[in-house]
Structure 1
Amino acid sequence: MQLWSRTWVVILFLAIPQLSLAQEQPAGVLTERVTVNVMSETVAVFGEVVAGRESAVAARVGGIAEFVPVQVGDRVNQDDVLARLDVELLDIELAQAEAEVAIADAGVAVSAAQLDRAEKAFRRAETLRGNSTISQAQLEERESDFAEARGSQQEAEARLKASQTALDQARYRLNNAIVRAPFDAVVLEVSTEVGQFIAPGSRVATLIDTSALEIEANVPARFVGALQPDELVTATTDIGQVVSLKMRAILPTEFSATRTRPVRFALSGETGAIAVGQTVTLDVPVSQSREALVVPKDAIIQSQDGWSVFVNENGKAMPRTVQIGAALNNAFEVISGLSEGDEVVVRGNERLRPGQEIAPSGPPQAAPEDEGRLGNSADAAATSEIKG
């Protein structure tokens, strides 16, 4: 028994230095830098995707639809054919109008010759009347013929203008027998079929310009003053897609029941699967942009004195009591306790002791700068998000 006891004493004596050595090794942690970001407080507002440009394309002339090449969902470019009418009757009308112009033109030539002849006869009668060769009655007769010829020429010229107008109308009807897309778009609805009669002004197809989609949101009137033209606003769709918007216009109306005003936001950048009628949640700024000191939320831990962080000071974890402000998605505003550039522990800080040596893995990362919107809640939101 004494031999076994001595053996255990020797083993324990040799193990104690090893345990002390293990406890003194630096703790592996991950750190990030405290940064200053430009941000503003935001409020969540629901919005809806609306069409900035939607058109019910109508036929300018009537006729039977001979060719309808588009279907619902097709993408069309400007001037692409949406429908073509039967032009057989329009060709006949055009030929008739051209013939009427030719007849009227010939009538102008005839009347011009008659006017010239009547004018010469009248001038000659005036000369003869001065020599008393002809009577006054003969002179008046020549003058009447001259006036009648002049009136006939004016009538012929008016008939030529009328026939030219009819020719222009025939050409217009023929040229517009093809209904074309007024802009690049997607076909939402096709309202005609081959063989169907299309009346002038009736709808042929409905197009929507997907490059001109907008977001309309009813923003509380008290926050409208904080919106600036072309200010970037972040929105999230009901399927989690994040899109960037720019405030385009504040409409001059207000809903008395909700005290909100409709605001239009233009989509900026890629729209992805955005569709008309889709709902989105906008982070609308409610205050002017300002600079704020930002600390990652994973660096914050709860202590007896409130909120605190561990700062890397010469390889040792030193606790700092901090006062936090508004909450971001992945960070918090720092009111006091830290300075820009401080290196805080964001992983492994739950097991640290004050003054314990640490070994950060890799260079400290900067806090994300794309989280540029502060939330409306501060300590209340922090309590639910910070690991204690």
Structure 2
Amino acid sequence: MFRFVSSAVLAVMLSAGAMAQQGPPPANVRVTDVVEADMAPTIQSPATVLSRRDSEIAAEASGRIVFVAEPGDLIEAGEPVARIDDTQARLQLGEARARLARLRANADYQSSEYDRWSRLVSAGTAPETRLREVELARNLAIQEQTEARSAVQRAQLELDRTEILAPFSGRIVERLIEVGEYSTPGRDIVRLVDTGSLEARSQAPISVAPFLTVGDTVQVGDGERRINAPIRAIIPVGDSTTRTFEVRVALEDSPWIAGAGVRVYLPRAASEHVVAVPQDAIVLRSAGSHVWIVGDDNTAQQVSVVPGSRNGDLVAVTGELSAGDRVVVRGAERLTPGQTVNILEDTASNSGAATGGNSN
């Protein structure tokens, strides 16, 4: 029995020694390529998300309010945000149309009279003085008809103004008048904000102005999310007290709402052509930073790097690596120099879709 146990222990010891000679087992990792990119050091500038179209819509007519849209309502351009009692405006329009009809009939009659007297004068059976009297009456009738037509247009305009229309699509943020109140021209009715046309407005240091151009892509973030967005406008007038100027960054499909506080990452120097790796590839230690490079033989080698500028998920690094090298972005925590690795395919999207279907 003793000999049997000793043999078993000896076998285990020999197996452990063989594994020690072979090194640690292959590690499962995910890799990506080192890339070259144009990057620049940045500064963080506080910004506020605002709508490009934020208006207090005012009335253009007098009258009692009979309808106001509710806060939160989505209003399309040209739809009413409020209505004023239009009874008086409709009466005035009816009166103006009736007067126009009467004066149009008179103008037609005076024109026919002028034509009849013109024929008589041409035939020598009527004096020309009578023709001039008829011509004057015709001209006066035509002028009155023109004035009446303008009165109809004014009455129609007053009627149209009883319906206050949205000049652009947006959401009602606030009611500034209530149903039953009396409105006058110029009184604010509602506040309308275009929540689909947002931008981040930042007061940037004047020192970064030489490195900004309209259309340049910069980053906007809030500490949890970060997106790339183009500079829409630069206001090239600085504040003499704060030494800042305004930069506006367009936010399409913004994850933020109007009024949110964000930070805009603006370049503070000219961009440089650098070697860059994803942030997840950099291992930070007290002795310095390093990345793991996977060679053609699928073994990992540690390479010391010095991180530099950041652009989204990419970080510029200085070290003994070049574009095209494979760098480990997952599974680098327990690697040892020379360790063999198994490169996993990126199936995160597929697994996410599978688990998403069972989330309920």
Give the TM-score of the pair, scaled to structure 1: 0.73
Q: Is residue 362 from structure 1 mapped to residue 343 from structure 2 by the alignment?
A: yes
Q: Is residue 158 from structure 1 mapped to residue 131 from structure 2 by the alignment?
A: no
Answer yes or no: is the 8 Å Cα contact 2:219–2:229 preserved in 1: yes
Q: Is residue 242 from structure 1 mapped to residue 241 from structure 2 by the alignment?
A: no
Which whole-Å CA distance do the structure 2 matches of 1:294 and 1:119 have between them? Answer: 94
Which whole-Å CA distance do the structure 2 matches of 1:14 and 1:118 have between them? Answer: 137
Q: Which residue of 1 aligns with 2:276?
A: 294
Amino acid at match of 2:219: T
Which whole-Å CA distance do the structure 1 matches of 2:114 and 2:301 have between them? Answer: 114
The structural deviation recorded for 1:62 is 2.2
User: Using a 3 Å threshold, how does the CA distance of structure 1 residues 299 and 158 change in structure 2: closer, same or farther?
Assistant: closer
Aligned with residue 282 of structure 1, among 264, 267, 286: 264
The structural deviation recorded for 1:13 is 6.2
The structural deviation recorded for 1:164 is 1.1
User: Using a 3 Å threshold, how does the CA distance of structure 1 residues 26 and 195 change in structure 2: closer, same or farther?
Assistant: same
The structural deviation recorded for 1:234 is 1.8
Q: Which residue of 2 aligns with 1:382?
A: none
Q: Which residue of 2 aligns with 1:91?
A: 90
Which whole-Å CA distance do the structure 2 matches of 1:217 and 1:209 have between them? Answer: 20
The structural deviation recorded for 1:82 is 1.7
Aligned with residue 189 of structure 1, among 157, 174, 177: 174
Which whole-Å CA distance do the structure 1 matches of 2:332 and 2:132 have between them? Answer: 112
Deviates more, 1:341-350 or 1:77-86: 341-350
Amino acid at match of 2:162: A
The structural deviation recorded for 1:45 is 1.2
Identity, in percent, stands at 23
Aligned with residue 326 of structure 1, among 288, 291, 308: 308
The structural deviation recorded for 1:46 is 1.1
Which whole-Å CA distance do the structure 1 matches of 2:14 and 2:210 have between them? Answer: 68
Q: Which residue of 2 aligns with 1:203?
A: 188
Which whole-Å CA distance do the structure 1 matches of 2:13 and 2:115 have between them? Answer: 136
The structural deviation recorded for 1:184 is 1.4
The structural deviation recorded for 1:12 is 7.8
User: Using a 3 Å threshold, how does the CA distance of structure 1 residues 62 and 24 change in structure 2: closer, same or farther?
Assistant: same
Q: Which residue of 1 aligns with 2:349?
A: none
Q: What does 1:48-87 align with in structure 2 at a 5 Å threshold?
A: 48-68=48-68, 70-87=69-86
Q: Which residue of 1 aligns with 2:202?
A: 217
Q: Is residue 262 from structure 1 mapped to residue 261 from structure 2 by the alignment?
A: no
Amino acid at match of 2:17: S
SS in 2 for 1:48: strand
The structural deviation recorded for 1:173 is 1.9
Q: Is residue 175 from structure 1 mapped to residue 160 from structure 2 by the alignment?
A: yes
Which whole-Å CA distance do the structure 2 matches of 1:149 and 1:286 have between them? Answer: 83
Which whole-Å CA distance do the structure 1 matches of 2:186 and 2:88 have between them? Answer: 19
Answer yes or no: is the 8 Å Cα contact 1:38–1:289 preserved in 2: no
Q: Which residue of 2 aligns with 1:335?
A: 318
Which whole-Å CA distance do the structure 2 matches of 1:299 and 1:57 have between them? Answer: 53
SS in 2 for 1:207: strand
Answer yes or no: is the 8 Å Cα contact 1:324–1:332 preserved in 2: no
Answer yes or no: is the 8 Å Cα contact 1:33–1:364 preserved in 2: no
The structural deviation recorded for 1:101 is 1.2
**Rg larger in 1 or in 2?**
1
Answer yes or no: is the 8 Å Cα contact 1:34–1:293 preserved in 2: no
Which whole-Å CA distance do the structure 2 matches of 1:168 and 1:72 have between them? Answer: 34
User: Using a 3 Å threshold, how does the CA distance of structure 1 residues 348 and 171 change in structure 2: closer, same or farther?
Assistant: closer
Which whole-Å CA distance do the structure 1 matches of 2:162 and 2:109 have between them? Answer: 37
Which whole-Å CA distance do the structure 1 matches of 2:286 and 2:248 have between them? Answer: 46
SS in 2 for 1:164: helix
Answer yes or no: is the 8 Å Cα contact 1:26–1:359 preserved in 2: no
- Where in structure 1 are there 5+ consecutive unaligned residues? 129-141, 366-388
Q: Is residue 21 from structure 1 mapped to residue 12 from structure 2 by the alignment?
A: no
Cα deviation code 1:250-293 (max 9, x no counterpart)? 1121112232221111113x223x22222111122334554422
SS in 1 for 2:159: helix
User: Using a 3 Å threshold, how does the CA distance of structure 1 residues 204 and 164 change in structure 2: closer, same or farther?
Assistant: same
The structural deviation recorded for 1:330 is 6.3
Cα deviation code 1:320-379 (max 9, x no counterpart)? 5x4524054766533331233434566456673x5x5x23133488xxxxxxxxxxxxxx
Which whole-Å CA distance do the structure 1 matches of 2:118 and 2:281 have between them? Answer: 106
Answer yes or no: is the 8 Å Cα contact 2:36–2:273 preserved in 1: yes
Deviates more, 1:219-228 or 1:15-24: 15-24
SS in 2 for 1:24: helix
Q: Which residue of 1 aligns with 2:212?
A: 227
Q: Which residue of 2 aligns with 1:252?
A: 236
- Where in structure 2 are there 5+ consecutive unaligned residues? 347-360
Which whole-Å CA distance do the structure 2 matches of 1:253 and 1:26 have between them? Answer: 65
Q: Which residue of 2 aligns with 1:385?
A: none
Which whole-Å CA distance do the structure 1 matches of 2:198 and 2:286 have between them? Answer: 49
Matched positions, count: 338
Cα deviation code 1:158-198 (max 9, x no counterpart)? 11111111111122222332222222110012223222222
Q: Which residue of 2 aligns with 1:369?
A: none
Which whole-Å CA distance do the structure 2 matches of 1:226 and 1:174 have between them? Answer: 54
User: Using a 3 Å threshold, how does the CA distance of structure 1 residues 315 and 108 change in structure 2: closer, same or farther?
Assistant: closer
